[in-house]
Amino acid sequence: MNKKKLLIRLVFLILFIFALNYIATGFYWYFSIWYFDMLMHFLGGFWAGLAVIYVLSSQELDFKLIIKVFLGVLLIGFLWEVFEVSVDKTISQNPFNFLDTVSDIFFDLAGGGLSLIYFSKRIMTKIKNGI
């Protein structure tokens, strides 16, 4: 695995997520597009999965890596939901929505699953082919 290329992809992905969030906040997409929150959690889970792969510096996709990536994404998603719920209670005073929280964590995990597929198809293939 070329850690430098993966780090560059991680940086560009997080900058894309930040830019998309900035635009979405300005245009009220979180309120006007009902599924936009799901897209953002999916992208965040994808980024978190790639970040876990980067930190673990794994060269191959095995069962241990899959479990570690899903647990890492679950931990990051859970901590984000704790932050989100605390902000909703203190600043916006929105009531707790269990279904929204479960949906957000599901989309985080789905993005983490895509990161494993991306790692196996794009990054590991280049290692095997010597590219």
pTM of the predicted model as reported, rounded to 2 decimal places: 0.90
pLDDT, one tens digit per residue, over 100-130 is 999 999 999 999 999 999 998 877 656 555 5
Give residue 32's pLDDT band: very low, low, confident or very high (50, 70, 90): very high
Angle between helix 3-26 and 36-56 (nearest 10): 160
- Which residues are CB-neighbours of 72 under 8 A, at least 6 positions away? 48, 49, 51, 52, 112
Domain ranges of the chain: 3-129
DSSP states of 103-122: HHHHHHHHHHHHHHHHIIII
Residue found by looking up tokens 């280049």 in the block = 126
Q: Do the Cβ atoms of 108 and 76 come closer than 8 Å?
A: yes
Mean pLDDT along residues 12-25: 98
Higher pLDDT, 122 or 41: 41
